[in-house]
Amino acid sequence: MDYNFAYLDEQSKRAIRRSLLKAVAIPGHQLPFASREMPLPYGWGTGGIQLTAAIIGKNDVLKVIDQGADDTTNAVSIRQFFARVTGVATTTKTVKASIIQTRHRIPETPLQEGQIMVYQVPMPEPLFKLEPRRTETRILHALGDYSLMYLQLYDHITRYGRVAIGYDFPVMVHDRYLMSPSPIPAFDVPKMHMSPALQIFGAGREKQLYAVPPYSRVVPLAFDDYPFAPLQAQAPCAICGSQHSYKDEIILDDKGTRQYICSDTDYCEQHRC
Amino acid sequence: MLTSSSPAHAPKPTTALGPVLIAQNLYFQFGNQIVLRDVSLEVFPGEVLAIVGESGSGKSTLLNLLYGNLTPSQGIVQAISTTGLQPLSALSQQTLRQLQRSRWGYVCQNPRDALRMTISASGNIIERRMAMGLRHYGTLRQEARHWLEKVEIDPARLDDLPETFSGGMLQRLQIARTLISQPALLYLDEPTSGLDVSVQAALLDLLRKLVSKEQMAVLLVTHDLAVARLLAQRIAVMRHGEIIEAGLADQVLDDPQHPYTQLLVSSVLPA
Amino acid sequence: MNILEVENLGKKFVLHLRGGWHLPVLQGVAFTVAAGECVAITGTSGSGKSSLLRTLYGNYRSDSGTARLRTEQGMVDILQSSPQQILALRRHVMAYASQFLRVIPRVSTLEIVAQPLMEQGLDQQMAGERAAAMLSALNLPRHLHPLPPATFSGGEQQRVNLARTFVGQHPLVMLDEPTASLDGDNAAVVQKLIMEAKHSGRAVLAVFHDPAMVRQVADRQYFIPSLSEHSHENPELQ
């Protein structure tokens, strides 16, 4: 069966690109888009796929990661999907990719100018858990009133002694909009700040997209006396020995023996000797 | 000769301060039903103006107009902003909201409507300070503790959830949360109506002290004449969307002129 | 020098709940009170003595006449004053003690008495000290000061009321039967307070139930004219 290039019809792709242009013009600001039915269920990356479909061209090289890995089900099936409906080259190497679609991670290898990060987003509204009314959160964004989010941080420090948000850490983009960085670990948030790559975010079920243009300020929320301090693994990678990467924790036996290995498989391979 | 008593008794210059809220000839219509008719009033710093009347008299609508939540069909509301008196109709939604969260305060009848029940008591108290840009956890905590004491809640309850508080404590918490920004203009909407009589008395006493200490201008809406007598210097009586009588609180209550006011006053059960 | 000049003051109640019945209480009231003077208002029971004081204090409205009060800004007609002006007059120029103390729940005796001073701009400590001194002068011992007066006896409540009235040193002090519920010792204290007020150049306007008090402190009496008759004055009592 023949599909249009990149599965979506040209008009749908255009509509998404138009929204993306606006999103780039207003960094961190959520925009609605006409999210289509995709050949996989909501929650599996339909937002990210539609964004990738809208921007991908014949000369692009695509990398897809899920939790940092190129070889998990979600990553493999999305990569194969695009290989089939576009015929573009795919890669697992961060440095070779022009488009990187991701779920839950930013590659350890620094991004470069010209690269585009496409994030799969389950819940684009950072205030969702604190203010369930969409009409109200829109007003709060319009007014730049984010004391609600600071309230949550305040309560975290009070209860746990620190801001106990491990992933999807709320960030301010360009000192204006509060943004969900998607469920990437807090560890990855600093990589967003002043990144040379274009970063775009798609939420298929919620039908929202947003963007962070290259070299934008992305600053995690913090108090003056409780600065942003993400947790880091206690041990180097058991495979490549890296001290600096983000690790997955693997429990090896019933006694709780554990091992830490890089979550970014490409990075881990580069560092193995 | 007359004021030779003592130099410490020289009059304070409070009388020179102008009003912080002016309403002129307000009308409000729902379809062709006139809810408010030609309402005018002023509130000065350091005074409490009570709007009394039965439910349905239009006092809640009036409060909403004066707070900027509703726009009058006719007439002008001017209220204190960061740059003096401003007509509310000239304010952007953003400015209005900022004023509502800093220079003004609003205490409603049911504290559960205003409080964040899933956030700690101290978090509730300091929300306005964070909205004003304070980003120092230690300072915020200190201020929360200070205000908890001011509204006479045990500081040990600092980090308890509001769910665990009694009705009177919840109302105190709402008051602390509102007054922390030191508003120049305070709206009180039936602040003690939902409370037991003993709790009510304590709360009224607290409000009275805070209001006189902070030199706020207060607009109090109540159906309870006893509350109005305790807190207010002036009273305006509303009926059918009109202010039918206004004046000094004790004068309106002790020598009511309008038939309806006489009926209201004579209907109060003796304490 | 007159502190208060009342002319042609008239007051009636209109009882709307009784079909608009008109009940005149005061008519053609005219008198003056000078600095350093105590004027006693007399009249038969129901002649409107209390109503007159209440009208002058702004607690009742009037229907006619003027009541000019001396202030730093010159003579001000109480009857034509706005609520804000009356509140300012009450803060700084005139004080009034009703027959009964209207208590505010939970507020301590000391606070009640200190309040007029704080409204005049004194700080809490200074106001508290002067209030305590005034209460002690009226034989209310210190252990009662922190208590709300709701549970006090009638005489104790009346002394709290008087303390609050005298403490602010207002140029005009109005008293409604100040010694009615007091024993002889305390009545003597009130007499002393009135004399002190007079000596410091302040004016006192009072309704006394006790003819002896009138003889002891009043310089003049003013008989409230019975309705539809002419008012008259009875000068030089002492």
Chain A to chain B Cβ contacts (< 8 Å):
54
> Would you call B99 an interface residue with chain A, using a CB distance cutoff of 8 Å?
no
Instruction: Tell me: do A52 and A84 sit in the same domain.
Output: yes
Closest CA to A95 of A111, A118, A117: A111
Instruction: Tell me: do C135 and C20 sit in the same domain.
Output: no
Lowest mean pLDDT among A78-87, A199-208, B14-23, C198-207: B14-23
Residues 75-94 of C with CB under 8 A from B: 83-84, 86-88, 91-93
> Would you call A226 an interface residue with chain B, using a CB distance cutoff of 8 Å?
yes
* Per-residue pLDDT at A62 exceeds 90: yes
Domains in chain B: how many in total?
Answer: 2
* Per-residue pLDDT at B270 exceeds 70: no
Identify which has the larger pLDDT, A132 or C106: A132
Q: Which residues contact A20 (CB under 8 A, 6 or more apart)?
A: A51, A54, A55, A200, A209, A211
Residue C200: what pLDDT? 96
Residue pLDDT, tens place only, C200-232? 999 999 999 989 999 999 999 999 988 764 434
Which of A28, A47, A48, A68 is catalytic? The answer is A28
Cβ separation B11–C92 shorter than 8 A: yes
Of B138, B158, B182, the one marking the end of a domain is: B182
- State the pLDDT confidence band at C122, using cuts at 50, 70 and 90: very high
Is residue A31, in this structure, part of any structural domain at all?
yes
pLDDT more than 90, % of chain A: 92
* Per-residue pLDDT at C236 exceeds 50: no
Instruction: Tell me: do B177 and B217 sit in the same domain.
Output: no
How far is C-alpha B122 from the chain's CA centre? 22
Chain B interface, best mutation among A138, A140, A143, A152, by max B CB count within 10 A = A143
Chain B interface, best mutation among A150, A221, A225, by max B CB count within 10 A = A150
- State the pLDDT confidence band at C36, using cuts at 50, 70 and 90: very high
Of A151, A155, A225, the CB nearest to B138: A225
Residue C3's φ and ψ, nearest 5 degrees, are -95, -35
Of B133, B154, B182, the one marking the end of a domain is: B182
> Would you call B116 an interface residue with chain A, using a CB distance cutoff of 8 Å?
yes
Cβ separation C59–B251 shorter than 8 A: yes
Instruction: Tell me: do C113 and C198 sit in the same domain.
Output: no
How far is C-alpha C230 from the chain's CA centre? 25
Instruction: Tell me: do B202 and B262 sit in the same domain.
Output: yes
- State the pLDDT confidence band at C234, using cuts at 50, 70 and 90: very low
Q: Domain of residue A268: give its range.
A: 232-273
Chains touching chain C through at least 3 C-beta pairs below 8 angstroms are B
Residue pair A23/A208 in contact by the 8 Å Cβ criterion: no
- Sort out which chain B residues have CB atoms less than 8 A from A145's CB and list them: 97, 101, 131
Instruction: Tell me: do A239 and A211 sit in the same domain.
Output: no
Instruction: Tell me: do B178 and B192 sit in the same domain.
Output: no
Of B182, B204, B228, the one marking the end of a domain is: B182
Residue pLDDT, tens place only, B34-93? 999 999 999 999 899 999 998 889 999 999 999 999 999 999 999 999 889 999 999 998
Of C141, C169, C197, the one marking the end of a domain is: C169
* Per-residue pLDDT at B191 exceeds 80: yes
Chains touching chain B through at least 3 C-beta pairs below 8 angstroms are A, C
CA distance B69 to B7: 46
Instruction: Tell me: do B177 and B190 sit in the same domain.
Output: no
Residue A11: what pLDDT? 96
pLDDT more than 90, % of chain C: 82
> Would you call B98 an interface residue with chain A, using a CB distance cutoff of 8 Å?
yes
Residue B13: what pLDDT? 41
A268 classed as catalytic: yes
Residue pair B104/B67 in contact by the 8 Å Cβ criterion: yes
* Per-residue pLDDT at A19 exceeds 60: yes
AA identity, residue B208: R
Of B11, B251, B258, the CB nearest to C58: B251
Instruction: Tell me: do B139 and B254 sit in the same domain.
Output: no
> Would you call A215 an interface residue with chain B, using a CB distance cutoff of 8 Å?
no
Residue C20: what pLDDT? 86
Chain A interface, best mutation among B137, B143, B148, by max A CB count within 10 A = B137
Of B10, B44, B255, the CB nearest to C59: B255
* Per-residue pLDDT at C103 exceeds 80: no
Is residue B41, in this structure, part of any structural domain at all?
yes
* Per-residue pLDDT at B118 exceeds 80: yes
Of A151, A224, A225, the CB nearest to B119: A151
Instruction: Decide: C and A in contact? Rule: 3+ Cβ pairs under 8 Å.
Output: no
Task: Find the CATH number of the domain harbouring C22.
Answer: 3.40.50.300
Residue pair C33/C234 in contact by the 8 Å Cβ criterion: no
- Sort out which chain B residues have CB atoms less than 8 A from C91's CB and list them: 11
Of C169, C189, C211, the one marking the end of a domain is: C169
Instruction: Tell me: do A183 and A250 sit in the same domain.
Output: no
> Would you call B263 an interface residue with chain C, using a CB distance cutoff of 8 Å?
yes
Instruction: Tell me: do B97 and B141 sit in the same domain.
Output: no
- Sort out which chain C residues have CB atoms less than 8 A from B205's CB and list them: 104-107
Here the tokens at position C201 are 């150049």
Instruction: Tell me: do B178 and B188 sit in the same domain.
Output: no
- State the pLDDT confidence band at C118, using cuts at 50, 70 and 90: very high
Which of A45, A241, A262, A273 is catalytic? The answer is A262
A240 classed as catalytic: yes
Instruction: Tell me: do C17 and C116 sit in the same domain.
Output: no
Instruction: Tell me: do C151 and C195 sit in the same domain.
Output: no
Instruction: Tell me: do C174 and C143 sit in the same domain.
Output: no
- Sort out which chain B residues have CB atoms less than 8 A from C93's CB and list them: 2
| Mean pLDDT of all residues in C169-182 | 95
AA identity, residue B132: M
Is residue B62, in this structure, part of any structural domain at all?
yes
* Per-residue pLDDT at B264 exceeds 60: yes
Is residue B109, in this structure, part of any structural domain at all?
no
Cβ separation A157–B137 shorter than 8 A: yes
Of C169, C198, C219, the one marking the end of a domain is: C169
Q: How far is B13 from chain C (nearest CA, A)?
A: 10
Residue pLDDT, tens place only, A149-199? 999 999 999 999 999 999 999 999 999 999 999 999 999 999 999 999 999
DSSP state of A111: P
Task: Find the CATH number of the domain harbouring A37.
Answer: 3.40.50.11310
Is residue A145, in this structure, part of any structural domain at all?
no
Is residue B216, in this structure, part of any structural domain at all?
yes
CA distance A108 to A25: 27
Task: Find the CATH number of the domain harbouring B72.
Answer: 3.40.50.300
Residue pLDDT, tens place only, B203-213? 888 888 888 88
Compute, in degrees rounded to 10, the torsion defined by CA atoms A231, A236, A240, A245.
20
Instruction: Tell me: do B61 and B153 sit in the same domain.
Output: no
- Give SS3 for C110: helix
Average pLDDT, chain A: 95
Residue B14: what pLDDT? 43
Residue with tokens 């209390």: C50
Domains in chain A: how many in total?
Answer: 2
CA angle A165/A167/A173 to nearest 5° reads: 95
Write the burial class of residue C222 (CB in 10 Å: 0-12 exposed, 13-18 middle, 19+ buried).
Answer: buried
| Mean pLDDT of all residues in B185-189 | 95
- State the pLDDT confidence band at C102, using cuts at 50, 70 and 90: confident
| Mean pLDDT of all residues in A30-55 | 94
CA distance A26 to A47: 19
Q: How far is A139 from chain B (nearest CA, A)?
A: 9
Is residue A70, in this structure, part of any structural domain at all?
yes
Instruction: Tell me: do B92 and B225 sit in the same domain.
Output: yes
* Per-residue pLDDT at A30 exceeds 80: yes
Q: Domain of residue C181: give its range.
A: 2-93+170-237
| Mean pLDDT of all residues in C102-121 | 89
Q: What does pTM read for this prediction?
A: 0.86
- Sort out which chain B residues have CB atoms less than 8 A from A229's CB and list them: none
Is residue A15, in this structure, part of any structural domain at all?
yes
Which of A47, A202, A237, A256 is catalytic? The answer is A237
Residue A273: what pLDDT? 64
- State the pLDDT confidence band at B9, using cuts at 50, 70 and 90: very low
Residue pLDDT, tens place only, C191-208? 999 999 999 999 999 999
Instruction: Tell me: do B190 and B176 sit in the same domain.
Output: no
- State the pLDDT confidence band at B196, using cuts at 50, 70 and 90: confident
Instruction: Tell me: do B252 and B188 sit in the same domain.
Output: yes
Q: What's the Cα-to-Cα distance from A246 to each of A69, A104, A214, A241, B107, rounded to whole Å?
A: 12, 12, 23, 12, 48
> Would you call B8 an interface residue with chain C, using a CB distance cutoff of 8 Å?
yes
Residue A152's φ and ψ, nearest 5 degrees, are -65, -40
- Sort out which chain A residues have CB atoms less than 8 A from B98's CB and list them: 143
Instruction: Tell me: do C146 and C225 sit in the same domain.
Output: no
Q: Domain of residue B5: give its range.
A: 1-9+17-103+184-271
Helix axes A134-143, B93-100, angle to 10 degrees: 90
Domains in chain C: how many in total?
Answer: 2
- Sort out which chain B residues have CB atoms less than 8 A from C71's CB and list them: 2
Instruction: Tell me: do C209 and C219 sit in the same domain.
Output: yes
Instruction: Tell me: do C139 and C185 sit in the same domain.
Output: no
- State the pLDDT confidence band at B16, using cuts at 50, 70 and 90: low
Is residue A106, in this structure, part of any structural domain at all?
yes
Instruction: Tell me: do C74 and C8 sit in the same domain.
Output: yes
A273 classed as catalytic: no
| Mean pLDDT of all residues in A212-223 | 98
- State the pLDDT confidence band at B260, using cuts at 50, 70 and 90: very high
Cβ separation A155–B123 shorter than 8 A: yes
